Amino acid sequence: MMDFLLGLGLRRWVFGLLFAATGQLQAQSLDFHHRVALAGKPLVLNQWTELPGGLEFKAEVMRWYVTPYFSGKQQDRTGEAWLLDLADSASLHRQVDARKGDFIVQLLFGVDSLLQRGGVMDGDLDPVHGMYWTWQSGYIQFKLEGLLRDSAGERKLELHLGGFEGENKTAMMWMGFFLEPFHGNARRRSNRSFGFVWTLDSLLLNLGDELRVMSPSSAGRRYCSLIAEGIHLEEEWVGYGKSGSPQNRRELNRVRPRNHPE
């Protein structure tokens, strides 16, 4: 598990709240906040942003999925997948309750494979959102549409990335957090917030000639890896510390996600 995370270049971003040997694991309210950045500033739809080297990009559509995944002493469970949409600011702020006994929460970039095999669903997974292909292909993990412009002229960019099985599997676990045991009044709830920045610089500067990807493919898998490498924890949350102890590494390995892309 850790080899996979390190291979993705995410070693700096697997942060955790260190698991203590004493205290009770109580229900916790977890708030997740997401924002998108390009060239060091917020990405705004339908506005040109200049990158290093003279490349400019204008995003017209950006939607993507993440799935929370919880682990406890007795069982593991998958939460509901969230559809994040840059055009809908409310979708970028999500809250979920960790149950009593949950001590690890992970965020999967994409839709959990068990949810995919369960068939078409409603809510954020309703095909009406335009994020579903066919039964064989499943859900689009990441959709980015817009225009690129440089000295060679203007080009259309259409990336519909995904694939949950086979060699082109793209879903991947990109963040794991340990939830600290609650000490004190067992009736009081604990609240915790996590903020993330999705930076697109690495993706857009390493596109090559493949500007239209509309189905599971090796290019889609590579692009999803570049996107995952650009996910950063907000500075104000960095103080949680790294989950690098042998005990924590063993626990992360134990709850290795089913969607492991290798």
The pLDDT of residue 3: 41
For residue 27, what pLDDT is reported? 66
Q: 99 to each of 20, 47, 181, how far by Cα in Å?
A: 17, 42, 12
- Give pLDDT < 70 ranges for the chain: 1-27, 74, 120, 180-190, 235-262
pLDDT of residue 181: 52
Q: What is the pLDDT of residue 60?
A: 98
Q: What is the pLDDT of residue 190?
A: 60
- State the pLDDT at residue 215: 92
Amino acid at 258: R
For residue 141, what pLDDT is reported?
95
Q: Judging by DSSP bridges, how do beta strands 231-233 and 172-178 pair with one another?
A: unpaired
Nearest to 108 by CA among 143, 150, 79, 130: 79
Q: Tokens 């889609």 map to which residue?
A: 220
What pTM did the predictor assign? 0.78
Round to whole Å and give the CA distance between 124 and 80. Answer: 8
Q: Is 45 within 8 Å of 59 (Cβ atoms)?
A: yes
